[in-house]
Structures are given as C-alpha cells and as structure tokens.
A and B are shown apart, each in its own frame.
Chain A
C-alpha cells in the first residue's frame, strides 16, 4: 500500500504525501523514506525506540523526525518497521518506533539519504486532510 508518490526532481528525490490526520503525514513520510532507503523486505519489530522531537513549527517537526530516523539508521543501524504516534501537535512529536537491527543478509540497501531538506516545505491543510512535499538530498 503506497501512501505517497515520488516527485521528479533532477538531482535529488522528492515525495508527495497526504493523510487524513496530522499523524498520517508523519507516518506516511517515514514509510516513503524507508522505501527509498531499502529494498522492500520484511522487517521485524522486536526492538523499540521512543522518539521525542521538538521543533519551532510542524514543518520543522517533520524534517527533524525524518532526520532522526536517518540518524538512528546510520549510527545505531536501527531499521524501523512500525510507528505508533503517542502525541503530536505543531511543536512536538512523541513516537514509539519498533524495528530491528539492520541485517545485511536480509535487508538490501538502495539509496543513501543524506538528509530530509526544508526546501519549499509547507504542510497544507485542505478539506481532505493534510498534504506536503519533502525533498531528500541523496
């Protein structure tokens, strides 16, 4: 089930995400990023990480959340599988992320994402819910 579409961007990769609730934007963006980073495969959810992110506004919150996941992946080799949002408002996000340690035998890496960028970032609210675009530097 794909909750995002890829945006044609010359040098980098972008995603367009939408969701009924604010929470969906965060979760769908995380899954989209994961799809860009690794080949689709089964990821166990036996390890848990609690993330707490604070930011000046909801856009920054989204970028920080995604970059937090990149950091966890690169430094702790933690590959997320599921996200449970405990709390979200426009300035803070609390998520329980479950996943497992990266295992090169089972997980195939696809693209190295350097970071999620702030380029033209705006989370918009419309009648159907929320939508936004994120450009990643790859």
Chain B
C-alpha cells in the first residue's frame, strides 16, 4: 500500500492524497495531521480515506481528522459531503453507534467542594447510572412511548420532566433530527432499544467529572459559563442497541441495492444508494430516529447526573449551577447548507467520528453562542485531558463545518490488554488523581491512556489548522465506564 508515501504536504497541518492514486477516486483526500501523528499513523485508515473518495457525488475531498484511525469501511475520524442531486447515503459512513456523542455540563462547584466527596460521588454515579454490557435502563417505555422518543428525541425527555427547556436550546439540532420515522425502524431495533434507554453502555462510553485546568480564550469561556478551577461533567454515549440494529438492518437492505444503481465500491462495508432512492430515504428516516433515541438517552443520563449531584451535595441542580454547555453528535449524517465553488448548496454530510464545528453567526446556533461560535466538546483518554473548543469560519470553508472527535486509538484492544498485564491500572490512575470505576473486567485495560493518541497533539492540529479553536482544557478527576 502506498497511501502514506503518496501524501503531498500542503502545510504543517494539511496533507493531500492525490486523486491520481487510485483509478476510481472522484476527489482527492485531505488529511489533517502533523508529522508526529502521521508517523504513527497506520496505512489502513489512509486506505479507507482513499476508498471513501470513490463514493458517487462526493464533493471537494474525502476528509480525515487528526484523530483518524482504522475503522470498518470508512475510517473513524472522517467526513464525506455528497451532493444531494447525484450523491449517495451510506450507513457505514455514519456507523453502528448512530449519534454517539458527548455532552458537557458546568457546575459552580470547585475542587475544595468535591475533594472529600469525590469517592462517594463516583460510587453513587456508578451504582445509579446503568452501565456495562447487558445493562438495563430504569426507564420503562411502552411501545407508543418508544416510538414517540424516536420522533421527538431529547424533547420527549424534557416534556416528561427529565430536563429543562435550556437543555434543548443547547443541544445540536435541539435534540431532535427532523425527518425521523419510527415505522422505518425494525421491530428488532425497537426491541433492542426498549431495554437500554437511559444506559451509558460499555467500551469507550463514559461519564467523567473534570476540573477546568486551563482557559485559552477567557471571553468565550465566559460565554460558555466556565472558568479555571470549575468542576464540569462530560457524558459520552449513543443510541445503544437500537442504533446498531438500524445500521445492520440497512447495511443489508442497501448492500442488496448497490448493484441496482450501478454503483461500484472497493469495500462492501461502504454500501450506499442514491440519497433520493426509496432505500436511501428509508435509511435516513430510520437513522434520524436512532439519532433521536441517542439524544433522549443522553438527556436522561444528564437528568440522572443532576439528581445524583443534588443528593451528594445536598443542594438543587439549580443551586449547583448544573447547566448544559452543549451536546454534540459525532456519528451522524445531516442535510446542511454549504458554499461550494462560490455558490450555496444543500449537501448531505456524513460525519463518522467527527464533530460539527459551526462558526460565529451560523443560523443553527443558539442565541447565547451566536457571536462566539458553536461549543465543540472533545473527550480525551481517561488519564490525560479533554478539551472544549469553538467552531470557526475555516471549518466552514474547508471541512463542511467539522473537526475532530477525540483522541483516536493507537493500540488495538488486545494489545492494550497485553500492555496492561501485571500492572495495577486502578492505582496508576489514582496516583494521577483520577478515581475510576468500571463494570467490565477488561474495560480498564482496553481503555489504557496510552492506547490512545495524545489528545494534546490532536487538538494542536485542529487549532493550528484553524478548523476549531481551543477554549478550555479539562483534567479528569473521576470516571465511570461500562
């Protein structure tokens, strides 16, 4: 494979994969990375960037963020925009965990307030928030309610009292992606989802209590409502079994229709159909429903978090200042308006392991953030740091308003488990000042900090390239994982 060798340096943070590399490429690849990240990068994700460039209707570039890593079909950390007239929609370009995403909330607590209660807080979060493989939610929804959630997303939860109107205001798409249709979601998917609403999940999903360690843009941080030394919370979860089943169902349907539309693909997992085809429309409606399930899920997890904080600190969530800063999706497909070759166009954007990063003044932004831009929440590994960034105009012109989504793995899970053998990861984390509770036996080893790229490198690239700007850095204090 010659993908890495073929990279052409544009500047210190941008690399082009020329269209001439493979005969079927319709556009070049554009990779955001620095020398260090590139050196550590495997060939496979770059090959996947090349494969994605084969998609009919793809516009400008097959984009790769600096946290890119080897996925199935599409690389994780990629963005593909397609023309809605002659472009395609691909379930693999969004992934199994539809609307996997992150939300971040502020508190008015300081380290001194939580120091003595940290262990109790983490224990309580761990015991009351269902997590891990096979966990069941406490929220029992009947069939009708289950379908309503798919149409209304986070708004359904807020109507039931699990949150505030402000939470909706500060969620991407207001927590409800338009065009969802629960009748396009299979009975199996509904079944898998029914028991898992309000659960964190396993693997890299987590809930983390953090402290703001550094502020880079005080003005914007003020608008986001955080300052140095403040305690914040980050929640990372998605659409659980419902989303996985929707993806699997439609990969099969769409996989069977690829030839009907005369589409040739280098990898079966890239299966796609025209956006305007019946199969494409059905998939979008089901995907939007799964996205709404995920927003409802994160909304309910936020509600549980507030209740637990209120109990542990003996104060109301209002008194604790527990407002939502923002909620972003990082596995999703959306119709958005972008400027291509000087003219405004409606495009369909696949973001798989990439975060929307809209600039100041964008009509989609809530009034409070209109002047500064969209908050972009980027979780790191459990030992190092996470970041809060802001969207920029450069992202709008170069990456269809997108940026990275996390640190990105460098080690396979099996390698991480080997690397962790004989080590007391729990104690290592405690030494770093992080209290960790996990459900799964291997989770702690698989999620070893060094199994991930250094988040600081990833953030440096997106910041220097200008596709989002650093606002604040948070350090983990306590984590619960599935």
Asked whether A75 lies within 8 Å of B97 as measured between CB atoms, the reply is no
Say yes or no: A110 contacts B76, CB within 8 Å: no
Residues of A within 8 A of B241 (CB): 74, 114
Question: Are A10 and B69 also in contact (CB < 8 A) when A111-B133, A112-B203, A137-B244 are?
Answer: yes
A74-132 contacts to B, CB under 8 A, are 74-75, 102, 104, 108-112, 114-115, 117-121
Nearest residue in A to B71 (C-beta to C-beta)?
A11
B133 touches A8 (CB 8 A): no
A75, B136: Cα distance in complex, Å: 11
Chain B 294-309, CB-CB to A under 8 Å as 1, else 0, gives: 0000000000000000
Q: Smallest CB–CB gap between A113 and chain B, Å?
A: 9
**A44 CB–B CB distance under 8 Å:** no
B197: which A residues are within 8 A, CB to CB?
A: none
- B277-320 residues with Cβ-Cβ distance < 8 A to A are none
Q: Tell me if A51 is interfacial: C-beta within 8 Å of chain B.
A: no
Please, which residues of chain A bring their CB within 8 A of the CB of B413?
12-13, 111, 138
A119 touches B268 (CB 8 A): yes
- Give every chain B residue within 8 A of A37 (Cβ-Cβ): 133
Does chain A have a CB within 8 A of B440? Answer: yes
Instruction: Give A39 to B251 CA distance when docked, in angstroms.
Output: 30
* The one of A10, A71, A121 that contacts B42, using a Cβ cutoff of 8 Å: A10
User: Bound complex: CA of A8 vs CA of B271, how far in Å?
Assistant: 24
Interface string of B130-149 (1 = CB under 8 A from A): 00111000000000000000
B110 in the interface, Cβ–Cβ < 8 Å? no
Measured CB to CB, the closest approach of chain B to A115, in angstroms, equals 5
Q: Does B426 contact A (CB under 8 A)?
A: no
* Chain A residues, Cβ within 8 Å of B267: 119-120
Q: Does A23 contact B (CB under 8 A)?
A: no
Does the CB pair B192–A75 fall under 8 Å?
A: yes
A46 to B230, CA, bound (A): 56
Q: Which residues of A contact B440 (CB under 8 A)?
A: 109-111
Q: Give the A interface residue count (CB, 8 A).
A: 35
A84 and B187 alpha carbons, distance in the complex (Å) = 27
B133 contacts A110, C-beta separation under 8 Å: yes
Q: Flag B431-442 by CB within 8 Å of A: 1 or 0 each.
A: 000000000111
- Residue B247 lies at the interface, judged by CB distance under 8 Å to chain A: yes
CB-based contact B192/A74 at 8 Å: yes
- Name the distance in Å between A61's Cβ and chain B's nearest Cβ: 11
Whether, in the assembled complex, A32 has its beta carbon less than 8 Å from a beta carbon of chain B, the answer is: no
- Structural contact, B269 and A120, CB atoms closer than 8 A: yes
Q: When the two chains form their complex, are residues B411 and A10 in contact, meaning their CB atoms are under 8 A apart?
A: yes
Q: Which of A39, A55, A117, A138 has the most CB of B within 10 A?
A: A117
Q: Does B191 contact A (CB under 8 A)?
A: yes
* A residues less than 8 Å from B201 (CB atoms): 112
- In the complex, A6 has a CB within 8 A of chain B: yes
Q: What is the bound-complex CA distance between A63 and B324, given in angstroms?
A: 40
Contact A8 B415 (CB under 8 A): yes
Residue of A with least CB distance to B249:
A67
Within 8 A of B (CB), among A30-82: 37, 39, 55-56, 59-60, 64, 67, 71, 74-75
The answer to whether A118 and B71 have CB atoms under 8 Å apart is: no
The residue that B134 contacts in the complex, of A13, A109, A138, with Cβ under 8 A, is A109
What residues of chain B lie closer than 8 Å to A17, measured between beta carbons? Answer: none
A135–B414 Cα gap in the complex (Å)?
14
- State whether A109 and B132 are in contact (beta carbons under 8 Å apart), knowing that A13-B414, A119-B269 are contacts in the complex: yes
B188 contacts partner chain A, Cβ-Cβ < 8 Å: yes
Q: Beyond A13-B414, A39-B441, A75-B192, is A117–B133 a contact (Cβ under 8 Å)?
A: no
Say whether B482 contacts A64, CB under 8 Å. no
Q: Are B268 and A115 in contact (CB under 8 A)?
A: no
B460 to chain A, nearest CB (A): 21
Residues of A close to B72: CB separation below 8 A? 12, 117-119, 135, 137
- List the interface of chain B (C-beta within 8 A of A): 42, 44-45, 69-73, 76, 95-97, 132-134, 188, 191-192, 201-203, 241, 244-245, 247-248, 251-252, 255-256, 267-269, 271, 409-415, 440-442, 482
Q: Which 6 pairs from chain A and chain B are nearest by CB?
A: A119-B72, A109-B133, A117-B72, A114-B244, A112-B133, A118-B268
With contacts A60-B252, A110-B441, A137-B97 known, what are 19 further pairs, Cβ within 8 A? A8-B414, A10-B42, A10-B409, A10-B411, A12-B413, A13-B412, A37-B133, A56-B255, A59-B268, A67-B248, A71-B192, A74-B192, A108-B441, A110-B442, A111-B440, A112-B133, A112-B134, A119-B72, A119-B269
